[in-house]
Amino acid sequence: MKIVQVQTQAEAAGAQRVSDMVGEGLRARGHAVRTVFMYRKTAAYDNDPHADFVLSSQPGGLPGQMRAAAGLVAYMRRERPDAVISYQHYGNIFGTLAARLAGARHVVANQSGAPQSHGVMGLLSRIDKAMGVLGAYQLNVVNSAWTEGQFDRYPQAYKQRMRRIDHGVPGPPGTYDKREARAAFGLPQDAWLAVTTGRLTRDKNHLALAGALCRLNELHVAIAGAGPEREALTAFARENGVADRLHFVGEVPPSRIFEFLSAGDVFAFPSVNETFGLSVAEAAIAGLPVVANGLPVLREVLSTASGEPAALFVDGGDAAGFAAALEETVRTPGLADKLSENGRRLAERYSPAAMCLAYERLLA
């Protein structure tokens, strides 16, 4: 089967990691799979032989978005895929329209967020709702029980097309030396180091970790990611005298993410808006003790098959709470080891092979 995956922007982020795994898994099963990005945002996919770009840079305003949509339609008509799998709000909307115009037999959307009611995201949610009710896409994938529950009040015509497929979460391909990893990313060798990954946006709440530095004099924090909040985080760190302990390593490509994780003593995840939390599940499976914001979806995802927590949760996700929890992983005998053990057991729940097989069955 010829399959095209549609993503909005090309960057190293969670939704893109999922389509990487789905594409790799379906190719291993004999399908021809390419991923098309509506625009190139970073260099993360420049060397990917299975990636295409409609636009080489982020479009500006409505004219730019229309140009990206028109380019996507033209791409689909050239490729003539049998099936289209779309991700993210714009990818779902424009990918579905382009797939229909190109005559694709199977169209599967992915919900990467809870429905919204205000602003641009509210408008996109209303469009998505109409498309789902009218059957513009045949099936609609959600990635957790929490996400599925956000659509409880939607019409039955929408919900009958929903299918739950939990994300697969890859494990590390090998072992890494901590000292070598820290040297590779320019991180201090003998520091107590909390690491985290994610775009530098307000939703990821990295300010809580910068605030934790003010309360724990021995702590260092390393962030892998890029985004608009870097200047604000840098300014806060300078104003509070902790700039020498807040380390930005930039965007880390998927091929090096486990090398980066191996540099840390603990993984801290203060995000305030998630539908699964792929990066924190990845860190847990890699064996890092995890401290995470106590969002309902993270409590669901970061639990073993027997219900044991694979993270120490912080209710509220504030700086004081994260400082206390990070200190607890050091002060409480055996806690870090127990969190690591439970984290590795999450691999039993989140098999990438099982995820890819589920997508193949949807397309059958």
DSSP annotation string for 152-208:
TTS-HHHHTTEEE-PPP-PPPSS---HHHHHHHTT--TTSEEEEEES-SSGGGTTHH
> In this model, does residue 14 exceed pLDDT 90?
no
Q: Is residue 135 part of a domain?
A: yes
105/198 Cα distance (integer angstroms): 35
Q: Is residue 134 part of a domain?
A: yes
> In this model, does residue 21 exceed pLDDT 90?
yes
**For the residues 151-164, what does the mean pLDDT come to?**
96
Pair 251, 228 in one domain: yes
**For the residues 140-168, what does the mean pLDDT come to?**
95
Q: Is residue 172 part of a domain?
A: no
Q: Give CA torsion, residues 33, 139, 302, 273, to 10 deg.
A: 100
Q: Is residue 215 part of a domain?
A: yes
> In this model, does residue 302 exceed pLDDT 90?
yes
CATH of the domain at 214: 3.40.50.2000
Provide the percentage of residues in the chain whose pLDDT is more than 70. Answer: 100
Pair 156, 304 in one domain: no
Pair 64, 123 in one domain: yes
Q: Is residue 216 part of a domain?
A: yes
Pair 156, 183 in one domain: no
pLDDT in tens, 256-276: 999 999 999 999 999 999 999
Rounded to 5 degrees, what angle do the CA atoms 93, 95, 97 make?
A: 70
The pLDDT of residue 114 is: 85
Residue 103's pLDDT band (cuts 50, 70, 90): very high
Look up residue 48 and give its amino acid: D
Pair 193, 152 in one domain: no
**Nearest alpha-carbon partner for 193 in 167, 169, 222:** 222
Q: Is 51 helix (H, G, I), strand (E, B) or coil?
A: strand
Q: Is residue 173 part of a domain?
A: no
Pair 44, 183 in one domain: no
Pair 328, 355 in one domain: no
Residue 60's pLDDT band (cuts 50, 70, 90): confident
Rounded to 5 degrees, what angle do the CA atoms 240, 244, 250 make?
A: 110
Residues 6+ apart with CB under 8 A from 11: 41, 42, 44, 199, 226, 251
Tokens 């709440």 label which residue? 205
Pair 321, 356 in one domain: no
The pLDDT of residue 62 is: 86
Average pLDDT, the chain: 95
Angle of helix 335-345 relative to helix 278-285, nearest 10 degrees, comes to 110
The pLDDT of residue 12 is: 87
Q: Is residue 266 part of a domain?
A: yes
> In this model, does residue 316 exceed pLDDT 90?
no
**For the residues 293-301, what does the mean pLDDT come to?**
97
The pLDDT of residue 112 is: 79
Other C-beta atoms closer than 10 Å to the C-beta of 332 total 11
Residue 53's pLDDT band (cuts 50, 70, 90): very high
Pair 192, 275 in one domain: yes
Q: Is residue 300 part of a domain?
A: yes
Pair 59, 132 in one domain: yes
The pLDDT of residue 117 is: 86
**What is the residue range of 182's domain?**
178-348
Q: Tell me how many domains the chain contains.
A: 2
Pair 272, 356 in one domain: no
Pair 146, 198 in one domain: no
